Amino acid sequence: MENKQKMIVPKQDDNYTHNIHRDNERKLDRRGFMKTMAGAVGVFAVASLPWGTLAARELLGLAPKQEDNLLKIADIAQIGIGEAVNFTYPSKHDPALLVRIGKDEYRAYQNSCPHLKCPVFWNKEQQELLCPCHHGKFSVITGDPIAGPPKRALPEIKLKIEGGAIYATGVKPYEI
Ligand code: FES
Protein backbone atom coordinates (compact mmCIF):
# COMPACT_ATOMS: atom_id res chain seq x y z
CA MET A 1 0.00 0.00 0.00
CA GLU A 2 2.84 2.38 0.85
CA ASN A 3 4.62 1.54 -2.40
CA LYS A 4 1.53 2.37 -4.54
CA GLN A 5 1.18 5.81 -2.92
CA LYS A 6 4.83 6.62 -3.64
CA MET A 7 4.37 6.04 -7.43
CA ILE A 8 1.53 8.56 -7.79
CA VAL A 9 2.79 12.02 -8.67
CA PRO A 10 0.74 14.75 -6.99
CA LYS A 11 -1.16 16.79 -9.65
CA GLN A 12 0.32 20.12 -8.54
CA ASP A 13 3.83 18.78 -9.35
CA ASP A 14 2.94 17.50 -12.82
CA ASN A 15 2.31 20.32 -15.32
CA TYR A 16 2.95 18.29 -18.45
CA THR A 17 0.12 15.83 -18.86
CA HIS A 18 -2.61 16.30 -16.33
CA ASN A 19 -3.36 19.84 -17.44
CA ILE A 20 -4.53 18.66 -20.89
CA HIS A 21 -8.06 17.36 -20.97
CA ARG A 22 -8.66 14.48 -23.36
CA ASP A 23 -11.02 16.60 -25.57
CA ASN A 24 -8.52 19.45 -25.72
CA GLU A 25 -5.83 17.02 -26.70
CA ARG A 26 -7.94 16.03 -29.72
CA LYS A 27 -8.45 19.72 -30.65
CA LEU A 28 -4.72 20.31 -30.49
CA ASP A 29 -4.15 17.40 -32.82
CA ARG A 30 -6.64 18.74 -35.36
CA ARG A 31 -5.24 22.26 -35.08
CA GLY A 32 -1.70 20.99 -35.52
CA PHE A 33 -2.74 18.99 -38.54
CA MET A 34 -4.48 22.01 -40.09
CA LYS A 35 -1.44 24.20 -39.46
CA THR A 36 0.81 21.63 -41.08
CA MET A 37 -1.50 21.37 -44.08
CA ALA A 38 -1.71 25.16 -44.44
CA GLY A 39 2.08 25.35 -44.29
CA ALA A 40 2.45 22.61 -46.90
CA VAL A 41 -0.06 24.32 -49.21
CA GLY A 42 1.83 27.62 -48.79
CA VAL A 43 5.18 26.02 -49.57
CA PHE A 44 3.69 24.25 -52.60
CA ALA A 45 2.10 27.50 -53.87
CA VAL A 46 5.35 29.45 -53.56
CA ALA A 47 7.41 26.64 -55.10
CA SER A 48 5.09 26.28 -58.10
CA LEU A 49 4.81 30.03 -58.76
CA PRO A 50 7.67 30.20 -61.33
CA TRP A 51 6.28 27.21 -63.27
CA GLY A 52 2.78 28.66 -63.10
CA THR A 53 4.07 31.96 -64.48
CA LEU A 54 5.84 30.19 -67.35
CA ALA A 55 2.74 28.13 -68.15
CA ALA A 56 0.54 31.24 -68.07
CA ARG A 57 2.92 33.10 -70.42
CA GLU A 58 2.86 30.15 -72.79
CA LEU A 59 -0.95 29.88 -72.69
CA LEU A 60 -1.46 33.61 -73.21
CA GLY A 61 1.01 33.67 -76.12
CA LEU A 62 3.40 36.00 -74.29
CA ALA A 63 6.33 33.57 -74.36
CA PRO A 64 8.99 34.27 -77.01
CA LYS A 65 8.27 32.19 -80.10
CA GLN A 66 11.06 30.12 -81.59
CA GLU A 67 10.84 32.23 -84.79
CA ASP A 68 11.75 35.25 -82.65
CA ASN A 69 14.83 33.42 -81.42
CA LEU A 70 17.04 34.62 -84.27
CA LEU A 71 20.77 33.97 -84.11
CA LYS A 72 23.33 34.90 -86.73
CA ILE A 73 25.55 31.86 -87.29
CA ALA A 74 28.01 33.20 -89.87
CA ASP A 75 28.47 35.23 -93.02
CA ILE A 76 27.98 32.98 -96.03
CA ALA A 77 31.30 34.09 -97.52
CA GLN A 78 33.07 32.52 -94.52
CA ILE A 79 31.74 29.00 -95.20
CA GLY A 80 33.09 27.02 -98.10
CA ILE A 81 31.01 24.31 -99.76
CA GLY A 82 31.51 21.06 -97.82
CA GLU A 83 32.60 22.91 -94.68
CA ALA A 84 30.97 23.19 -91.27
CA VAL A 85 30.67 25.80 -88.55
CA ASN A 86 30.12 25.11 -84.86
CA PHE A 87 27.75 27.31 -82.90
CA THR A 88 25.34 27.03 -79.98
CA TYR A 89 21.55 27.23 -80.27
CA PRO A 90 19.06 28.02 -78.82
CA SER A 91 21.03 28.46 -75.58
CA LYS A 92 24.78 28.64 -74.99
CA HIS A 93 24.52 25.12 -73.59
CA ASP A 94 23.16 23.58 -76.81
CA PRO A 95 26.04 22.83 -79.20
CA ALA A 96 25.11 22.81 -82.86
CA LEU A 97 26.65 22.35 -86.27
CA LEU A 98 25.97 24.08 -89.59
CA VAL A 99 27.07 22.32 -92.78
CA ARG A 100 27.13 23.91 -96.22
CA ILE A 101 26.30 20.99 -98.47
CA GLY A 102 25.88 22.91 -101.70
CA LYS A 103 26.10 26.37 -103.23
CA ASP A 104 22.75 27.36 -101.74
CA GLU A 105 22.09 24.36 -99.53
CA TYR A 106 22.70 24.21 -95.79
CA ARG A 107 21.74 21.98 -92.90
CA ALA A 108 22.12 22.62 -89.19
CA TYR A 109 21.61 20.22 -86.30
CA GLN A 110 22.02 20.21 -82.56
CA ASN A 111 25.03 17.97 -82.37
CA SER A 112 24.69 16.16 -79.05
CA CYS A 113 24.48 12.53 -80.07
CA PRO A 114 21.04 11.10 -79.16
CA HIS A 115 22.79 7.92 -77.99
CA LEU A 116 24.94 9.09 -75.06
CA LYS A 117 25.43 12.80 -75.77
CA CYS A 118 28.91 12.77 -77.29
CA PRO A 119 29.51 15.64 -79.75
CA VAL A 120 28.83 14.77 -83.37
CA PHE A 121 31.43 16.06 -85.86
CA TRP A 122 31.36 16.85 -89.54
CA ASN A 123 33.77 14.55 -91.29
CA LYS A 124 34.68 16.64 -94.33
CA GLU A 125 36.63 13.90 -96.11
CA GLN A 126 33.81 11.35 -95.83
CA GLN A 127 31.07 14.04 -96.04
CA GLU A 128 29.19 12.55 -93.08
CA LEU A 129 28.14 13.43 -89.57
CA LEU A 130 30.10 11.18 -87.24
CA CYS A 131 29.89 10.44 -83.53
CA PRO A 132 33.33 9.10 -82.56
CA CYS A 133 32.22 7.57 -79.22
CA HIS A 134 30.52 4.49 -80.70
CA HIS A 135 30.87 5.17 -84.43
CA GLY A 136 27.37 6.52 -84.85
CA LYS A 137 26.68 8.14 -88.21
CA PHE A 138 23.93 10.48 -89.34
CA SER A 139 22.63 11.61 -92.71
CA VAL A 140 23.60 15.21 -93.33
CA ILE A 141 20.45 15.63 -95.45
CA THR A 142 17.91 14.50 -92.84
CA GLY A 143 19.83 14.09 -89.56
CA ASP A 144 18.58 10.49 -89.36
CA PRO A 145 20.89 7.82 -87.91
CA ILE A 146 22.44 5.63 -90.60
CA ALA A 147 24.98 3.58 -88.61
CA GLY A 148 25.92 2.66 -85.04
CA PRO A 149 23.78 2.67 -81.91
CA PRO A 150 21.84 5.97 -82.24
CA LYS A 151 18.13 5.37 -82.86
CA ARG A 152 16.89 8.98 -83.08
CA ALA A 153 17.68 11.77 -85.50
CA LEU A 154 19.68 14.85 -84.62
CA PRO A 155 17.30 17.74 -83.89
CA GLU A 156 17.30 19.98 -86.98
CA ILE A 157 17.64 23.74 -86.71
CA LYS A 158 15.59 25.94 -89.02
CA LEU A 159 17.68 28.34 -91.09
CA LYS A 160 17.18 31.64 -92.87
CA ILE A 161 19.52 33.46 -95.27
CA GLU A 162 19.41 37.23 -95.27
CA GLY A 163 21.84 39.94 -96.27
CA GLY A 164 24.70 37.55 -96.99
CA ALA A 165 24.45 35.86 -93.59
CA ILE A 166 22.85 32.68 -92.34
CA TYR A 167 20.64 32.66 -89.24
CA ALA A 168 19.15 30.01 -86.95
CA THR A 169 15.45 30.70 -86.42
CA GLY A 170 14.23 27.74 -84.36
CA VAL A 171 14.50 24.02 -83.70
CA LYS A 172 12.19 21.79 -85.72
CA PRO A 173 9.91 19.70 -83.55
CA TYR A 174 10.36 15.94 -83.75
CA GLU A 175 8.01 14.31 -86.22
CA ILE A 176 6.25 11.34 -84.65
S1 FES B 1 27.32 8.56 -78.01
FE2 FES B 1 27.16 8.76 -80.15
S3 FES B 1 27.15 6.75 -80.83
FE4 FES B 1 27.22 6.56 -78.69
110 and 32 housed in the same domain: no
Q: CB atoms < 10 A from the CB of 6, how many?
A: 7
147 CA distance to ligand 1 middle (Å): 10
* pLDDT score recorded for residue 46: 87
Residue 172 is given by DSSP the state P
33 and 79 housed in the same domain: no
Describe the strand order of the beta sheet including 165-171 as a list of residue ranges: 71-75, 165-171, 157-162
Number of domains in the chain: 2
26 and 105 housed in the same domain: no
To test the pocket of ligand 1, the residue of 97, 111, 115 to mutate (highest count of ligand atoms within 8 Å of its CB) is 115
83 and 28 housed in the same domain: no
* pLDDT score recorded for residue 61: 64
* Whether the Cβ atoms of residue 160 and residue 166 lie closer than 8 Å to each other: yes
**Ligand 1 atom closest to residue 113's alpha carbon, by position in its atom list:** 2
What are the pocket residues of ligand 1 if the criterion is a CB atom closer than 6 Å to any ligand atom?
A: 113, 115-116, 118, 131, 133-134, 136, 148-150
**Ligand 1 atom closest to residue 120's alpha carbon, by position in its atom list:** 2
* pLDDT score recorded for residue 1: 46
**CATH number of the domain encompassing residue 145:** 2.102.10.10
Chunked in runs of 10, what are the mean pLDDT values of the chain (176 residues)?
54 57 63 85 86 75 65 95 95 95 95 96 93 96 96 96 95 76
Q: Determine the 3-state secondary structure of 158 from DSSP.
A: strand
Is 146 inside a domain boundary?
yes
Sign of the CA dihedral running 86, 89, 93, 97: negative
Is 132 inside a domain boundary?
yes
Flag whether the pTM goes above 0.75.
no
* pLDDT score recorded for residue 12: 57
Which domain does 137 fall in, by range? Answer: 71-171
